[in-house]
Amino acid sequence: MKYVIVSGGVLSGLGKGVTASSLGVLLKSAGLRPTAIKIDPYLNTDAGTMSPFEHGEVFVLDDGGEVDLDLGNYERFLDVNLTRDNNLTTGKVYSKVIEAERRGDYLGKTVQVIPHITDAVQDWIEEVAARPSDDSGAKPDVCVIELGGTVGDIESAPFIEALRQFQFRVGPENVCFVHVSLVPVIGVVGEQKTKPTQHTVKELRSLGITPDMLVCRSERPLEDDVRDKLALFCHVSSEAVLSAHDVSNIYRVPLLLEEQGVSQMLATRLGFELPEQRPLLDSWAQMADRVDGLSEEVHIAMVGKYTGLSDSYLSVIKALQHSSFEVGRKLVIDWIEASDLEDSPNKDNEAWSLLNKADGILVPGGFGDRGIEGKILAAGHARENNIPYLGVCLGLQVAVIEFCRSVLGWQGANSTEFDEATPHPVVVFMPEISKTHLGGTMRLGSRPTLFQVEDCATRRLYDGAGHVDERHRHRYEVNPALIEDIEAKGLKFVGKDDSGQRCEIFELDNHPYFVATQYHPEFKSRPGRPSPPFLGLLKAASGQ
């Protein structure tokens, strides 16, 4: 097993996840079977209880793991399926060690960060890296490990120490350290400054890790003299100082690294042969060109809660993008703050004008009651005006509420999540869900949906499959007792779970595309293999 370990310096948000994923693509293109581990040095057991508006989206895996969004990048870039254990957190490793201590595994010993936590980290990495992560069921050959946070943080210190020791455990010839840093441009002459990178590498080396490659984030390509200077001060060769400047789209990042000889450097460092033909890279190049070539726009209104962090809806954006490439349109997402729709009784503010000109409307998943009435208005607007609509999870629930209020005349219909005393509880708490614990207690992960009809739009989008496995993350569901009444008015629950009770997909009669899913289809969307319900929205929105 080979390991590529990616750390980061200077500041967060440099695109370390994309760099790590891109390295994985290069390794995969060289014929290796990749997997990935993300280390998050926070005390939460997992990302499930963290706010997407602070930390970005909570990504959901097949096994129900609620994890950091970088695992989504890995799944999409490497086309793998990961497990909850591929996201290692401080919370997880400490729980494990403390549990072992209580069991008496360390009887007589003082349990310490070094060696007990650091050993547990290394054991964890070795065990998880060996797990099959693709359909072949074969053991991976290479594991990309991304260390979250910035080198020098108190929180990440035990992990850095574990990784330092790890190179000796598995042999230095099997480990490549890559450090991602920032090269800012200062002043009127636009000089690229090396000092922040010098400092972060110094810090990393003082912790016992010498990077094999430096990935320098900058707006424009690194100047040659800057590269030489960084090599001199950071104890790497000039060729190993890589320019990761801004590119036109994300699919260019692996190609940008490739152009600078990264695959060859990895092959030399880790001791594998680079094949002549690497068709995977050709398909990335085609994808990158295709994305740059899109010109005719399609406008999708995303009605959600925003705080300026678009990472909160990362997988939804990706799924929309994948679909837009497929239909050959340039995606424009018009962000609409749901509560702004509530604030304008005459429907004449900016939010409404964006909604009015949308080719398609999407209401993504969400929790809490802020903006709910606005989302209900958006669903009603789409239904009445024949505008293509896709509801995801909460987006399904609000559309059902709207339908029950407007079409069935059930005034005050609501979800018990937002109104416990509603006279028409059309969306209700699922009986098996814990009311005392919030972490990891939802209906989570991959569950089957069975189509209830031979032919419908979503089933066609799923190539006629009789059943589909998609990922879930919810506590509430459409009230099974009311499904018959709702269907009688034309909103058809065409997909249900294996009990036949639980609503998974609806479609509205006599509408170009009014579809919603209780599951989150966005988590399984891939470039070149867009999520079917999203593809349906984009096809409908672009008149295809």
CB 121 within 8 Å of CB 102: no
Our answer to whether residue 350 is catalytic in this structure is: no
475 binds ligand GLN per the rule CB under 6 A:
yes
* Nearer of residues 377 and 394 to ligand GLN, judged by Cβ: 394
Q: Which of 359, 388, 361, 396 is nearest to 516 (CA)?
A: 396
* Nearer of residues 365 and 425 to ligand GLN, judged by Cβ: 365
Q: Amino acid identity of 10?
A: V
Our answer to whether residue 234 is catalytic in this structure is: no
Residues in contact with ligand GLN, total (CB under 6 A)? 10
SS3 call for 34: strand
CB 275 within 8 Å of CB 267: no
Write down the least CB distance from residue 364 to ligand GLN, Å: 7
Among 329, 473, 496, 502, binds ligand GLN (CB under 6 A): 473
Q: Amino acid identity of 32?
A: L
Alpha-carbon separation of residue 194 from 31, 208, 231 (angstroms): 35, 21, 10
Residues linked to residue 361 through DSSP beta bridges, in sequence order: 301, 389
Assigned token pair, 437: 């614990």
Catalytic residue among 75, 161, 470, 522: 522
* Nearer of residues 60 and 215 to ligand GLN, judged by Cβ: 60
66 binds ligand GLN per the rule CB under 6 A:
no
- 389-392/514-517 β-pairing: parallel
Write down the least CB distance from residue 415 to ligand GLN, Å: 7
CB 404 within 8 Å of CB 410: yes
Write down the least CB distance from residue 55 to ligand GLN, Å: 16
- Buried b or exposed e, range 496-533, using 16+ CB within 10 angstroms: bbeeeebbbbbbbeebebbbbbbbbbbbbbebeebbbb
316 binds ligand GLN per the rule CB under 6 A:
no
393 binds ligand GLN per the rule CB under 6 A:
yes
Assigned token pair, 25: 């693509």
Stretch that binds ligand GLN, among 146-154, 319-327, 359-367, 455-463 (CB under 6 A): 359-367
Write down the least CB distance from residue 424 to ligand GLN, Å: 17
Our answer to whether residue 393 is catalytic in this structure is: yes
- 66-67/59-60 β-pairing: antiparallel
CB 416 within 8 Å of CB 429: yes
Stretch that binds ligand GLN, among 8-16, 150-158, 448-456, 467-475 (CB under 6 A): 467-475
Stretch that binds ligand GLN, among 68-76, 272-280, 301-309, 474-482 (CB under 6 A): 474-482
Tell me how many degrees the CA angle 161-163-168 measures, rounded to the nearest 5: 105
Stretch that binds ligand GLN, among 7-15, 244-252, 312-320, 360-368 (CB under 6 A): 360-368
367 binds ligand GLN per the rule CB under 6 A:
yes
Among 38, 76, 381, 474, binds ligand GLN (CB under 6 A): 474
CB 363 within 8 Å of CB 353: no
* Nearer of residues 317 and 394 to ligand GLN, judged by Cβ: 394
Element (H, E) at 522: none
Catalytic residue among 179, 472, 474, 520: 520
The runs of H, that is alpha helices, within 235-261 are: 252-259
The maximal CA–CA distance of the chain, rounded, in angstroms, is: 74
Among 40, 161, 417, 470, binds ligand GLN (CB under 6 A): 417
* Nearer of residues 79 and 470 to ligand GLN, judged by Cβ: 470
The runs of H, that is alpha helices, within 295-407 are: 314-327, 338-342, 350-356, 372-384, 394-406
Catalytic residue among 216, 234, 393, 404: 393
Residues with catalytic function: 393, 520, 522
User: Which residues contact ligand GLN (rule: CB under 6 A)?
Assistant: 365-367, 393-394, 417, 473-476
